[in-house]
């Protein structure tokens, strides 16, 4: 794997010698002083370097050796291109701001590249086996509007990097060489990209989770990502490679694709940066020359913008796979946009979204709560069966319990349907709230950003293991209402009848508390949604119990069902009964065999 280790000792010595020769030549051939001509080709000379490691090993006098910068700017982007390596050294998204810890708001310039956190270039092997790296070259700039040509010479060969800033967060990056075929061997150039992803958002752990490699292949038809330590694609030709963060990304698209791609990533636990990435791949040369067109994209993860490119960029937005992603794209996002179009703030939009989802699920929820009421009515008979078989044949007891349910017309499996329906909704929203850029920076009550946690309650210490220094009010409120809802719905849960079996009621009470540990560092929009959802559940239960369902009528219906012929068993019920009978028969056979041995 290609690692971002900066410059080694030999490279530093060569660079220092090169810099000293350049300084001597500049001094010896310095022309007589004259009035400087007006130009936009470059700004006053400033110190830059290819990598942070190089800067820490060079003294101040060497930093200024023939290095300058060129600026390109449009509505969306501001780029600074350094003559050292001919690289883009600064990328600023003009229409967005980054999180500022000191002010607890998004008011810092949003810089994807800056302070040498990103370095890239091409590496060639010459005919003697030595490596030539464009990151070590000093280029000469020539600017024409929002296009600049960076040119460098190396042993008689000429290398040009031509950057053209276009609209929609796009930068054309064309590479041309002349005479390179006399120096190099092989038919491929190696592209090297080292990048340290800077923290942009308030929730560090959440943003770090969403910071990863993304790439497309199969002529843009397939997509994959890698959030682990390494990536290796030796058989696929990558159509583009991206280093994606929570809401922003840098993408490089080569005209002829990347082959033999390798990447590594390493999490950074604290400080300005989240992760350290290193990527290397090969791209084709022709006849010993390297003439290749690339495109850089520095863009926000806005779904409509990403889809406009038609290059599978919309997969960069982590909305979930298959049905989950479809639900977010075609249901939750359009719903949010329609309601937000009414002029409501983001928090109230989420409130109305919750009500709409509840209304859609109301028929299923009604059946669930009706089943709950029916089970309360037949609870005395269930308790009677449990008491009858206490300490006895557990299989026989279970059969009689199922018979009580069957005679009463109660289908236990019907209670599983609402839970199954809500699982994909939960996961879709888990993906939606932290990654929907329209919520980024939107405040609501004490939450300053609904895509991050609220931290009004500050702790005077960091909580061990978790590393928290705050308590989220939204997460706390959500945990309380889930506990209340659990107390109200746990009455139908049977206590364990055998020793060693877990107490399900205790487990149900533990779940909301453990859920708090998840929500405390998650999107406050997600916590707000589940607070409203569970508060509505409580009101629905009360309304059904006291205004809609009459337990006396339900009891009468159950008694009437007992006098009727039982309904035919469903396939699942029949299968369960047969399995229990088989298990009971096997148990009897085992007991007989045990008796014979004695």
Query: Within this chain, do residues 355 and 238 fall inside the same structural domain, yes or no?
Result: no
Of the residues 268, 294, 318, the one at which a domain ends: 318
- What does the angle CA 57 – CA 61 – CA 64 come to, to the nearest 5 degrees? 95
Q: Tell me: pLDDT of 496 over 60.
A: no
Query: Within this chain, do residues 307 and 330 fall inside the same structural domain, yes or no?
Result: no
pTM: 0.75
**Segment 304-356, tens digit of pLDDT:** 999 999 899 999 998 887 788 888 989 999 999 999 999 999 999 999 999 99
For residue 215, being part of any structural domain is answered with yes
Query: Within this chain, do residues 512 and 557 fall inside the same structural domain, yes or no?
Result: yes
- What does the angle CA 122 – CA 125 – CA 126 come to, to the nearest 5 degrees? 125
**Segment 36-61, tens digit of pLDDT:** 333 333 333 333 333 333 333 333 43
For residue 590, being part of any structural domain is answered with no
Compute the distance between CA of residue 163 and CA of residue 295 in angstroms, rounded to an integer.
Answer: 9
pLDDT for the residue 464: 62
Query: Within this chain, do residues 295 and 363 fall inside the same structural domain, yes or no?
Result: no
**Segment 285-305, tens digit of pLDDT:** 888 889 999 999 999 999 999
Domain membership of residue 216 as a residue range? 9-29+40-318
For residue 469, being part of any structural domain is answered with yes
For residue 246, being part of any structural domain is answered with yes
Q: Is 203:119 a contact under the CB 8 Å cutoff?
A: no
Q: What is the CATH number of the domain that holds 130?
A: 2.70.98.90
Q: How, if at all, do strands 105-113 and 170-178 pair?
A: unpaired
Confidence of residue 507 (pLDDT cuts 50, 70, 90): low
Distances 569 to 7, 279, 310, 387 between C-alpha atoms, Å: 75, 60, 52, 26
For residue 105, being part of any structural domain is answered with yes
Query: Within this chain, do residues 143 and 277 fall inside the same structural domain, yes or no?
Result: yes
Query: Within this chain, do residues 362 and 293 fall inside the same structural domain, yes or no?
Result: no
For residue 592, being part of any structural domain is answered with no
Compute the radius of gyration of the chain from its Cα atoms.
33
For residue 453, being part of any structural domain is answered with yes
Question: In total, how many domains does the chain have?
Answer: 2
Neighbours of 151 (CB within 10 A): 17
Element (H, E) at 238: strand 238-244
Of the residues 261, 286, 318, the one at which a domain ends: 318
Percent of the chain's residues with pLDDT above 70: 72
Q: How, if at all, do strands 230-233 and 222-226 pair?
A: unpaired
Query: Within this chain, do residues 252 and 383 fall inside the same structural domain, yes or no?
Result: no
Element (H, E) at 394: helix 394-408
DSSP conformation letters of 285-319 = -BTTB--EEEEEEEEE--HHHHHHH-SSGGGGS--
pLDDT for the residue 66: 66
For residue 4, being part of any structural domain is answered with no
Query: Within this chain, do residues 175 and 203 fall inside the same structural domain, yes or no?
Result: yes
Query: Within this chain, do residues 267 and 314 fall inside the same structural domain, yes or no?
Result: yes
Query: Within this chain, do residues 284 and 381 fall inside the same structural domain, yes or no?
Result: no
Confidence of residue 566 (pLDDT cuts 50, 70, 90): low
Query: Within this chain, do residues 557 and 502 fall inside the same structural domain, yes or no?
Result: yes
Compute the distance between CA of residue 49 and CA of residue 88 in angstroms, rounded to an integer.
Answer: 11
Query: Within this chain, do residues 165 and 120 fall inside the same structural domain, yes or no?
Result: yes
């Amino acid at each position: 794997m290609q690692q971002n280790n900066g410059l080694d000792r030999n490279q530093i010595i060569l660079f220092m010698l090169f810099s000293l020769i350049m300084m001597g030549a500049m001094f010896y051939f310095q022309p007589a002083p004259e009035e400087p001509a007006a130009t936009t080709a470059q700004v006053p000379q400033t110190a830059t370097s290819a990598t942070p490691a190089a800067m820490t090993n060079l003294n101040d006098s060497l930093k200024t050796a023939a290095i300058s910068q060129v600026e390109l700017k449009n509505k969306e982007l501001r780029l600074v291109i350094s003559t050292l390596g001919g690289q883009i050294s600064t990328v600023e998204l003009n229409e967005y701001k980054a999180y500022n810890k000191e002010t607890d708001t998004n008011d810092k310039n949003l810089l994807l590249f800056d302070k040498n956190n990103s370095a890239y270039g091409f590496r060639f092997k010459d005919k003697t086996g030595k490596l030539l790296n464009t990151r070590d070259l000093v280029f000469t700039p020539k600017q024409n509007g929002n296009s600049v040509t960076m040119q460098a010479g190396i042993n008689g060969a000429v290398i040009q990097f031509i950057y053209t800033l276009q609209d929609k967060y796009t930068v054309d990056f064309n590479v041309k060489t002349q005479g390179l075929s006399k120096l190099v061997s092989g038919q491929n150039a190696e592209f090297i990209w080292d990048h340290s992803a800077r923290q942009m958002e308030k929730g560090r752990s959440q943003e770090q989770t969403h910071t990863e490699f993304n790439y497309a292949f199969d002529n843009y038809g397939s997509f994959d990502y890698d959030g682990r330590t390494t990536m290796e694609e030796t058989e696929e030709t990558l159509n583009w490679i991206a280093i994606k963060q929570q809401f922003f990304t840098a993408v490089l698209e080569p005209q002829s694709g990347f082959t033999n791609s390798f990447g590594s990533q390493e999490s950074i636990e604290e400080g300005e940066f989240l992760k350290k990435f290193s990527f290397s791949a090969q791209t084709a040369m022709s006849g010993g020359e390297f003439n290749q067109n690339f495109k850089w994209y520095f863009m926000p993860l806005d779904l409509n913008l990403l889809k406009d490119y038609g290059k599978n960029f919309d997969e960069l937005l982590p909305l979930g796979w298959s049905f989950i992603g479809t639900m977010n794209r075609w249901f939750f996002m359009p719903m949010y946009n329609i309601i937000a179009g009414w002029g409501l703030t983001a928090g109230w939009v989420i409130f109305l979204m919750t009500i709409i989802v509840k209304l859609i699920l109301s028929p299923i929820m009604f059946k669930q709560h009706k089943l709950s009421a029916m089970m309360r009515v037949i609870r005395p008979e269930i308790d009677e069966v449990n008491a009858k078989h206490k300490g006895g044949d557990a299989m026989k007891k279970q059969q009689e319990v199922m018979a009580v349910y069957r005679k009463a017309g109660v289908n236990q499996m019907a209670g599983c349907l609402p839970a199954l329906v809500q699982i994909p909704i939960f996961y879709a929203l888990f993906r939606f709230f932290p990654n929907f850029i329209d919520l980024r920076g939107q405040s609501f009550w004490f939450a300053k950003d609904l895509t991050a946690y609220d931290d009004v309650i500050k702790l005077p210490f960091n909580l061990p293991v978790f590393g928290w220094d705050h308590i989220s009010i939204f997460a706390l409120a959500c945990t309380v209402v889930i506990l209340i809802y659990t107390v109200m719905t746990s009455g139908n849960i049977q206590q364990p009848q055998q020793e060693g079996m877990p107490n399900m009621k205790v487990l149900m009470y533990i779940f909301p508390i453990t859920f708090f540990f998840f929500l405390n560092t998650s999107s406050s929009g997600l916590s707000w949604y589940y607070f409203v959802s569970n508060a509505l559940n409580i009101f629905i239960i009360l309304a059904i119990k006291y205004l809609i369902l009459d337990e006396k009528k339900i009891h009468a219906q159950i008694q009437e069902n007992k006098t009727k012929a039982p309904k035919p068993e469903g396939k699942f019920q029949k299968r369960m009964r047969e399995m229990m009978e088989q298990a009971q028969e096997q148990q009897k056979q085992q007991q007989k065999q045990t008796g014979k041995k004695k």
